[in-house]
Amino acid sequence: MRIENIELRRVTLPLVSPFRTSFGTATERETTLVRVSTANAEGWAECAAEPDPLYSSEFLDGADLVIRDHLVPRLQALGDALTAEHVATALAPVKGHPMSKAVLETAVLDAQLKETGVSFGRYLGAVHDTVPAGVSVGIMDSLDELLDAVAGYLAEGYLRIKLKIEPGWDLLPVRAVRERFGDEILLQVDANTAYSLADARHLARLDPFDLLLMEQPLKEDDILGHAALARLIRTPICLDESIESARDAAAAITLGACSIINVKPARVGGYLEARRIHDVAAAHGVPVWCGGMLETGIGRAANVALAGLPNFVLPGDTSASNRYYAQDLTAPFVLEDGHLRVPTGPGIGVDVLPDVLADVTTARTDIRF
């Protein structure tokens, strides 16, 4: 495939409500969109890095620099030999920076699939037309505010609730949600690394609430700590931040550090590695689900396609557009009976709305090939 131009475009979209996690509060989503132009197609993707390096070490200004000065030149060096399947190998000499690599691989893959008329779902091996949607509910100022938010999401049809937790906001919100909405709802928690192994006895107090899983309680590099914690609590442990590759997934599973994996393509360098994690987990009988990074319709379309693979057996953080944005960058993803539809058009299968794009753009750089 011959790339003619790569555009990097910074956009900022207001969130419909603030989103608070154990590592910070977001009131807007800022991202860099990558547009890959060939003679016949345009591929789009969005960078998952956030403005500050708080979820992982990557951050948006750093990602822009790495993409421009270290990654794109390696794609340029490939010339016409470039395909999406070659991108990861070409970028491998650059250590780390999976989100920066993922956005490039995804935009190249989108352009390639549009040139050949194949959808992401078909390319990746999706076996479902629709995928069940969960919702990630941030830390709130009060239990009343939390219960109102959860009530609203359940009324909309979300099939699973994930509560963000941190020390001081864990037992009470979980108990309040169980008391108000009952034992039937699918409920899980996400700590984003906010605890240590010394908290094991405290975290075991969540056991009676029959949570589906506890996501990333300990530091990202603490695989043995998670394995130890798994022996001290009954709630299944799911890893997010710790898993950056299929090799990480195999090690974590083998060491007993997790029995479920949150797959975020951005965190692992792209959709091809995400699919390998799906496959490794399936081979071990470990279920996976699709995580999110507050994506616009561009990233959401590809995530929903991935979530259609057979071992994505738990509802994902693949919520409808209106959970995040009053106006999305694409036609909105809407909840239909608790599910989102997997796009079937070529590539990511959604179009970027030009007027909205112009409205939210704050900067633009073109790299000619």
Residue number with CB closer to ligand OSB (82 or 161): 161
Which stretch in 48-56, 63-71, 182-190, 330-338 sits in contact with Mg ion by CB under 5 A? Answer: 182-190
Minimum CB separation from ligand OSB for residue 251, in Å? Answer: 20
The partner in contact with residue 136, picked from ligand OSB, Mg ion, none with C-beta cut-offs of 5 to 8 angstroms by kind, is: ligand OSB
Which stretch in 72-80, 161-169, 185-193, 199-207 sits in contact with Mg ion by CB under 5 A? Answer: 185-193
Residue number with CB closer to ligand OSB (87 or 239): 239
Distance between CA 121 and CA 140 in Å, rounded?
36
C-alpha R_g of the chain:
20
Distance between CA 277 and CA 30 in Å, rounded?
28
Binding mask 233-272 vs ligand OSB (x if CB under 6 A, - otherwise)? -------x--------------------------------
β-pair type (260-263, 237-239):
parallel
Site for ligand OSB in 105-134 (CB under 6 A): none
Single-letter amino acid code for the residue at 86: H
The partner in contact with residue 64, picked from ligand OSB, Mg ion, none with C-beta cut-offs of 5 to 8 angstroms by kind, is: none
Single-letter amino acid code for the residue at 212: L
Minimum CB separation from Mg ion for residue 98, in Å? Answer: 15
Binding mask 202-241 vs Mg ion (x if CB under 5 A, - otherwise)? -------------x------------------------x-
Which stretch in 169-177, 245-253, 289-297, 341-349 sits in contact with ligand OSB by CB under 6 A? Answer: 289-297
Site for ligand OSB in 134-153 (CB under 6 A): 136
Nearest to 332 by CA among 301, 299, 297: 297
Catalytic annotation present for 101: no
The partner in contact with residue 317, picked from Mg ion, ligand OSB, none with C-beta cut-offs of 5 to 8 angstroms by kind, is: ligand OSB
Element (H, E) at 162: strand 160-164
Site for ligand OSB in 325-354 (CB under 6 A): none
Distance between CA 222 and CA 166 in Å, rounded?
17
Catalytic residue of the set 101, 114, 162, 264? 264
Residue number with CB closer to ligand OSB (136 or 242): 136
Phi, psi of 358 (to 5 degrees): -60, -40
Token pair 């442990």 is found at 237
Residue number with CB closer to ligand OSB (82 or 265): 265
CB within 8 Å of 115: residues ≥ 6 apart:
1, 38, 40, 41
Binding mask 41-70 vs ligand OSB (x if CB under 6 A, - otherwise)? --------------x---------------
Residue 22 as a binder of ligand OSB (CB under 6 A): the answer is no
Which stretch in 87-95, 106-114, 288-296, 338-346 sits in contact with ligand OSB by CB under 6 A? Answer: 288-296
Site for ligand OSB in 294-323 (CB under 6 A): 294, 317, 319
Distance between CA 9 and CA 22 in Å, rounded?
29
Question: Helix or strand or coil: residue 81?
Answer: helix
Q: Is residue 290 within 8 Å of 318, Cβ to Cβ?
A: yes
Nearest to 100 by CA among 54, 61, 43, 42: 61
Distance between CA 261 and CA 289 in Å, rounded?
7
Q: How many CB atoms lie within 10 A of CB 369?
A: 15
Residue number with CB closer to ligand OSB (192 or 235): 192
C-alpha angle 296/109/41, rounded to 5°? 90
Q: How many CB atoms lie within 10 A of CB 181?
A: 15
Nearest to 258 by CA among 282, 291, 224: 224
Q: How many residues bind ligand OSB (CB under 6 A)?
A: 11
Catalytic annotation present for 114: no
Residue 190 as a binder of ligand OSB (CB under 6 A): the answer is yes
Distance between CA 366 and CA 188 in Å, rounded?
42
Residue numbers at the binding site for ligand OSB (CB under 6 A): 55, 136, 190, 192, 240, 291-294, 317, 319
Residue numbers at the binding site for Mg ion (CB under 5 A): 190, 215, 240
Which residues are identified as catalytic? 164, 264
